Structure 1
Amino acid sequence: MKFLKLFILIGFIPAILYAQDPNYSQFYANPIYMNPAFAGTTELQRIVANYRNQWPQQGNAFTTYSLSYDRLLDNRKSGLGIQINYDREPNNVINTSWATVSYSHHVQLGMETFMTFGLQGGLVVKQYDVNGLVFPSNIDQISGQISGSLPITVTESRKTYPDFAVGIVGQNKRTFWGISAHHLNRPDESIVEGDNKGRVPVKITALVGNRSRNFHHGLLSREFTLSPNILYQQQGSFKQLNLGIYMIEKSFLFGGWFRHNFDVRPDALIALIGFAREKFQFGYSFDFTLSKLSNYSHGSHEVSLTFFLGAKSRKNLQNRLLIPMI
């Protein structure tokens, strides 16, 4: 636990390592978290609940929760979404709560081509338990005893700040793409006196994917839909590439992702399973760690629940995105 506390400490001192946003493995099961332009991209009203437990063998080391609601507005050209999030880091040393409001506007470019632009604004509350922090200077190298005071001056134990994001997604026939930028105002979250490097780096997310037409598999005559995807994220010096594919067979969904952080060893393999009906969707994923943290992290669990409300219109919705369901 001493190592874990020290790791957290290093993680939140910007002069050593810039902070990173919590990441989900079921990217499309938390759409407005990934890109505000996804707000209102389904005909029915949508409620999504997400839970992620990272490093489960270490207790509740990194746990993240989110709950969102989004809908297509009556004019059929705009979408609105709201989301609340909570992220807890080991031993409750850092707890982050934030709420966002997203607005999107759809532009029809052709019978099978459209684009959606999104804006997002939110408020973040970040709380630090400085009593749980341990510095190397506090540890006796012989006995291992912890003593002494913090070798830094902490100005406050809570930071509250606004946060803003923009995004765009588009679709041409059965191919979709998108790009978003979070933390446009680069808010300052440092609590260390004199620190001038505590600003959150802008996070860039880019994606492209496709949903192939249904086809039959040999004599079984079973219909499948395949959806290959590429997703790239960058925040400060952190870079991540995700390559994945989904397979949909009636109500059942299967998928897998390969995640690489541009290190010597790949970061993880992600396995996904899901079940979907017209008004309900469930997804579960597990991250199998491949990096040097594999002996410590023991992977990650993630669960998503999606509910659709209301009744479909008799009119065909031209600009419905064909994104994967999990």
Structure 2
Amino acid sequence: MKFKFILIAAFTLMTTFSNAQDPIFTQFYLVPETLNPAFTGVSNTWNAGLIHRRQWPDGNRKMDTQFGFANNLVSDEIGVGMTVLNHSEVFTGYNYFKFNGAFSYRIDLDYDWRLRLGLEAGYGRKDFNFNNLLLEDQININTGAISPGSIDPGVMNYSNKINFMDFSAGFVLDQEDTWFGVAVKHLNRPDISFRENANVPLDLFLTVHGGYYIEFFNSPSKLIPEGTNLLLTANYMRQGQYNRLDVGTVMEYSRISFGLIAVTNPEGRATNSHLITSINPVFSFKTDEFTFGYSYDWNTSKIGRTQGVHELSLTWQSSYRCDRCDNYKVKLKRNGESGYQKM
């Protein structure tokens, strides 16, 4: 009985606290659609991409997250698109899937500044196979044999799948070299409890993000050729009791960019909290239409040997531009775009 109680209690806590957290991506500056629906259609052309994140690849602790998106403008001010998220954990057998439609509307505040409003809505599903739990009535204490099923009524009160609707909103202020955005996910606080007649509202996910480009036009150094750009970026996230602030810088050359992003815990809630939890080198290579990115999260906390976090991204922007969008002044950098396209 004690063994059964520990399993049920551990799973209940895991469901309530750990799995209520949204997956987070290191390369948010390359794929801003992971943060804010207001970025839908921001490229003024067909834009699509995939990002894959493998966290702690050491054996049973492995967690995989995939995110895909596609969007475009349908008029001078309106952008539409879709996003798909899938997250799976080997140790628990837990899976989280979400499919959303996204919409944005652009308002030109003046010649330089724009306000983009975004909405996102869709369907979410969480899965957990309770048949994988080993309960007391499955164990034959005389022979050690394991029965394939359980008649325990406690397990019968849990559902293997839960489905829910989900809504998010955000805005972005931007001009040629600067952007600042805020988004809130799970506005309707969907119930994510696996237990019948229970209610575990999904915590709101707040993200505040921004970036600033410094362009080197007349650099005297051979190490910094003309046309090089330095991106300064930050992303603060908060969900329930968890908080995280990513700050970093990325140097962008003609085709190659590299940089460093630090993950911090600015609101340490325990005496053993770490201010800096990981240091993440980032790298990307771009062609005329494609950008390939890679990042590695090097753990600096005392959580132990995790083999880090690997993240791969591939984004595509069509070379076609909207010629009829008279009031949409596209300011392309001399060397093309990388990450969030400046306009």
TM-score interval, normalised by the smaller of the two chains: 0.7 to 0.9
Paired residues, number: 314
SS of the aligned residue for 2:58 comes to helix
CA radius of gyration, larger in = 2
Matching of residue 211 in structure 1 with residue 213 in structure 2: yes
2:187 is matched with 184
Shift of the alpha carbon at 1:86?
1.2
Shift of the alpha carbon at 1:151?
5.5
Q: Is the 8 A contact 2:99 2:123 kept in 1?
A: yes
1:268 is matched with 278
The answer to which of 216-225 and 82-91 deviates more is 216-225
Higher relative contact order (CA 8 A, sep 6+): 1
CA distance in 2, matches of 1:210, 1:311: 26
2:168 is matched with 165
SS of the aligned residue for 1:37 comes to helix
Please list the CA deviations of residues 7-36 of structure 1 after superposition, one character each: whole Å capped at 9, or x if unmatched: 97255332x667101111110333222100
1:36 is matched with 37
Matching of residue 293 in structure 1 with residue 294 in structure 2: no
Q: Is the 8 A contact 1:230 1:241 kept in 2?
A: yes
CA distance in 1, matches of 2:81, 2:14: 30
Please list the CA deviations of residues 146-188 of structure 1 after superposition, one character each: whole Å capped at 9, or x if unmatched: 9985856533111011000001001145221000000000000
CA distance in 2, matches of 1:96, 1:286: 23
Please list the CA deviations of residues 238-286 of structure 1 after superposition, one character each: whole Å capped at 9, or x if unmatched: 1111111111011111121111124422211111000112211100000
The answer to which of 261-270 and 63-72 deviates more is 261-270
SS of the aligned residue for 1:211 comes to strand
SS of the aligned residue for 1:96 comes to strand
- Amino acid of the structure 2 residue aligned with 1:9: F
1:325 is matched with 339
CA distance in 2, matches of 1:12, 1:270: 27
SS of the aligned residue for 2:21 comes to coil
2:103 is matched with 103
SS of the aligned residue for 1:192 comes to coil
- Amino acid of the structure 2 residue aligned with 1:244: G
1:55 is matched with 56
Structure 1 unaligned regions, length at least 5 = none
Please list the CA deviations of residues 63-99 of structure 1 after superposition, one character each: whole Å capped at 9, or x if unmatched: 01122101122x2211111112211112462112110
The answer to which of 60-69 and 227-236 deviates more is 60-69
The answer to which of 257-266 and 144-153 deviates more is 144-153
TM-score normalised by L of structure 1: 0.86
State how 1:69-108 maps to structure 2 within 5 Å. Answer: 69-73=70-74, 75-91=75-91, 93-108=93-108
Percent identity of equivalent pairs: 26
- Amino acid of the structure 2 residue aligned with 1:309: S
Structure 2 unaligned regions, length at least 5 = 1-6
- Amino acid of the structure 1 residue aligned with 2:188: N
1:202 is matched with 204
Q: Is the 8 A contact 2:291 2:338 kept in 1?
A: no
- Amino acid of the structure 2 residue aligned with 1:303: L
